[in-house]
Amino acid sequence: MTTTKYKINELFQTIQGEGAFTGQPSIFIRLQGCPVGCSWCDTKHTWEIDPNLIIPSNDMLTKKQESEHWSHLTADEMANIFSQQGYKAKHIVITGGEPCMVDLTPLCDTFERLGYSCQIETSGTFEILTTERCWVTVSPKINMKGGYAILESAMQRANEIKHPVATEQHVDDLKKLLLDHNVKHTPIYLQPISQKQRATELAIQTCIDNNWRLSVQVHKYIGIE
């Protein structure tokens, strides 16, 4: 049993829509807090940690819309919620916000002992503290408002690198990052920042030119969370 409490903005079951696990039934754990400052972020409600916005877990589970309210939960409490909610998925995606602001080892260790697989989605700007078995998706956020650098340790720990693109500059930034950190064999996924045709066409052509892979945020196309 672990007593470590995590700041949880959302907890829900769905289908993973991005990267290597696209199509995988998954339980998403969305943590509160992120200082990175991505301009296109679609979860800005997770950025600030306001202790006045703590709510009971039942209220967090039944939120009807995105909000900055969050709950304090241990891994064991989350596992109990999974059971109570009747969740069937055995893959867990820990996202945010920026989940690696905290040590995720106790969280992943608990779930792995219960038979779940774990995946972390991170910007690569904080040390990744987790179990050896955990799948780490680094979505490097380069030159963002928060001023955080992409860490060498994060790039080397990544099981996949999933990069948002809308312009040629984003592609150039990624190529420089891969070169700077000597990344050669990690699978690379390009993800159009929007569903707009220009961004998608750029991502497709770049994937073909570099033998990379495409991630199209399937959940947005089919209209699920």
| Residues that constitute the known binding site | 15-17, 30, 34, 38, 40-43, 95, 97, 139-141
Distance CA 106, CA 152 (A): 23
b/e code 33-69 from CB counts within 10 Å (16+ = b): bbbbebeebebebbbebeeeeeeebeebbeeeeeeeb
- Rounded to whole angstroms, the Cα distance separating 146 from 137 reads 20
CA atoms within 13 A on the CB side of 71: 19
Compute the chain's Rg from CA coordinates: 17
Element (H, E) at 113: helix 105-113
CA distance 30 to 36: 16
- Known binding site for [4Fe-4S] cluster: residues? 34, 38, 41
In 3D, which of 4, 6, 7, 23 has the Cα closest to residue 15? Answer: 23
Binding residues for Mg(2+): 43
Three-state SS for 6?
Answer: strand
Binding residues for S-adenosyl-L-methionine: 40-42, 97, 139-141
Positive or negative CA dihedral for 83, 89, 91, 97? Answer: negative
Annotated binding site for substrate: 15-17, 30, 95
